[in-house]
């Protein structure tokens, strides 16, 4: 890198805690290396960057582009893909981004879930870096597409539950669309690119990919993915949360219940109903503001509620975690050797966990569309009584903790990959 300060324009999904933390972790490393950081976006987790030494930049369109309707569509990639809003809305957002890019003139753009950067960066010909889970990589999606076709044919006669079969159908459709087979959802995006004289995207997956895409996962958990110049592993980004840690002074088995802000109150209530069926355990619950104080008082004394707690510290003391399976959640829980049962809500979440337990059987997946409190109760009791889950979780912890050491921090890996990529990009100019 030359002596002139490099500028990065960051587009974080400030409506999502984990995505915001992911971007903060990477740009903090860039800032420490002398970069000027311009942080765009609007959302409830802006408070996480309030004290950071970054220059905040705002786009007027974010006041409506990141309303609940558009966020719901962004998060449900399997159903909506690129159909987040109308063609007119998309054009307005991208045009505002183009104006901002021309004003700042960044050397690089970075995002973890601002898809419109995919268009505006290409139009302005600024190198773009995405940071995502490995399950959204071209190699993983290609392999998953082949696997879904094989499972749908079911020549082996394996019994598949109705919930699982429904997910396989959805995966087959979503993977085909992501890879550009059949009708996709990005025609409006491609028309916009063509109007600016830029090449079309070849499949929906290209919305979630940059000129360099960093995979924030442990490569040991994805043995079939081979890195290339476009897709690079950096290791899991482990969140270090400054939240209270509950005192768990009890000899009884302890269960952590943690769902994210994108899951909805109904899933939390379902898990609590299942917990009521097993009164011999102590429960430590993050309710992310879903329950009123009056509602919490309706539960017995072995239910301990917190709006937010340090997941890693809580998991260290618990025997089992019930989670919705956000990527950050599963890494922080498993880092402490705590097995988990997952109730993922979205395509990416589900495959994060399916891939994990395929390689290390440290948990169980419950397909949330068909979940009942009886099913949750059965899984919870089985996992607490079977020591093999805990042993497998210890194996996963051994892998993940390697990235908790200073020399293996994902932040350092990300900065190294970004600066190497940019140097090569500039050399080719």
Domains of the chain in start order, with CATH, are 7-215 (3.40.50), 254-404 (3.40.50.2000)
pLDDT at 398 over 70: yes
Top pLDDT among 115 and 174 is at 115
Please write the tens of the pLDDT for every residue from 66-75: 999 999 899 8
Quote the pTM value. Answer: 0.89
Calculate the alpha carbon distances from 116 to 42, 77, 89, 381 in Å.
14, 14, 11, 45
Pick from 85-94, 95-104, 345-354: least confident = 345-354
Give the pLDDT score at 101.
98
Cα angle 39, 43, 44; round to 5: 120
| Angstrom distance (rounded) from CA 66 to CA 129 | 21
- Beta-bridged to residue 256, according to DSSP, are 284, 321
255: nearest Cα among 313, 311, 322? 322
pLDDT band at 160 (very low <50, low <70, confident <90, very high): low
Q: Measured on CA atoms in the order 273, 278, 280, 284, is the torsion positive or negative? A: negative
pLDDT at 404 over 90: no
Q: Which region holds residue 223: left if phi is over 0, alpha if psi is between -120 and 50, else beta? A: alpha
Give the pLDDT score at 424.
95
Residue 325's CB is within 10 A of a number of other CB atoms, namely: 30
**SS3 string of the chain?**
CCCCCCEEEEECCCCCHHHHHHHHHHHHHHHHCCCEEEEECCCHHHHHHCCCCCEEECCCCHHHHCCHHHHHHHHCHHHHCCCCCCHHHHHHHHHHHHHHHHHHCCCEEEECCCCHHHHHHHHHCCCEEEEECHHHCHHHHHHHHHHHHHHHHCCCCCCCCHHHHHHHHHHHHHHHHHCCCCCCCCHHHHHHHHHCCCCCCCCHHHHHCCCEEEECCCHHHCCCCCCCCCEEECCCCCCCCCCCCCCCCCCCCEEEEECCCCCCHHHHHHHHHHHHCCCCCEEEEECCCCCCHHHHCCCCCCEEEECCCCHHHHHHHCCEEEECCCHHHHHHHHCCCCCEEECCCCHHHHHHHHHHHHHCCCEEECCHHHCCHHHHHHHHHHHHHCHHHHHHHHHHHHHHHHHHCHHHCHHHHHHHHHHHHHHHHHHHC
pLDDT band at 151 (very low <50, low <70, confident <90, very high): confident
């Amino acid at each position: 890198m030359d002596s002139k300060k490099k500028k990065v324009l960051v587009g974080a999904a400030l409506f999502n805690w984990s995505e915001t933390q992911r971007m903060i972790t990477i740009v903090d490393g860039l800032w420490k290396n002398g970069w000027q950081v311009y942080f765009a976006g609007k959302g409830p987790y802006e408070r996480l960057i309030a004290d950071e030494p970054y220059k905040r930049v705002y786009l007027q369109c974010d006041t409506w582009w990141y309303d609940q309707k558009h966020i719901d569509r962004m998060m449900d990639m399997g159903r909506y893909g690129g159909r987040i809003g109308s063609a007119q809305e998309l054009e307005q957002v991208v045009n505002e981004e183009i104006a901002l890019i021309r004003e700042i003139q960044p050397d690089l753009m970075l995002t973890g879930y601002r898809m419109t950067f995919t268009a505006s960066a290409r139009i302005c010909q600024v190198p773009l870096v995405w940071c995502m889970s490995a399950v959204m990589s071209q190699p993983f999606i290609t392999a998953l597409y082949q696997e879904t076709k094989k499972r749908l044919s079911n020549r082996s006669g394996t019994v598949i539950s109705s919930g699982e079969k429904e997910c396989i159908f959805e995966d087959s459709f979503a993977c085909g669309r992501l890879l550009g087979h059949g009708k996709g959802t990005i025609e409006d995006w491609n028309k916009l690119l063509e109007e600016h004289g830029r090449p079309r995207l070849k499949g929906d997956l290209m919305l979630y990919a940059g000129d360099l895409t960093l995979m924030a996962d442990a490569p040991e958990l994805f043995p079939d993915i081979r890195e290339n110049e476009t897709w690079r592993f950096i290791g899991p980004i482990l969140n270090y949360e400054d939240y209270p840690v509950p005192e768990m002074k009890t000899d009884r088995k302890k269960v952590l219940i943690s769902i994210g802000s994108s899951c909805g109150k109904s899933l939390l209530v379902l898990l609590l109903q299942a917990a009521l069926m097993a009164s011999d355990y102590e429960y430590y619950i993050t309710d992310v503001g879903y329950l009123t104080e009056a509602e919490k008082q309706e539960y017995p004394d072995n239910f301990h509620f917190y709006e937010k707690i340090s997941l890693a510290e809580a998991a260290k003391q618990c025997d089992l975690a019930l989670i919705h399976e956000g990527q950050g959640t599963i890494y922080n829980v498993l880092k402490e050797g705590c097995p988990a049962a997952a109730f993922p809500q979205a395509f990416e979440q589900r495959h994060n966990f399916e891939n994990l337990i395929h390689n290390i059987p440290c948990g169980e997946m419950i397909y949330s569309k068909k979940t009942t409190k009886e099913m949750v109760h059965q899984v919870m009791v089985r996992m607490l009584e079977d020591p093999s889950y805990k042993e497998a979780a210890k194996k996963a912890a051994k892998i993940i903790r390697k990235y908790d050491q200073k020399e293996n921090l994902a932040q350092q890996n990300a900065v190294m990959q970004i600066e190497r990529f940019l140097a090569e990009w500039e050399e080719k100019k």
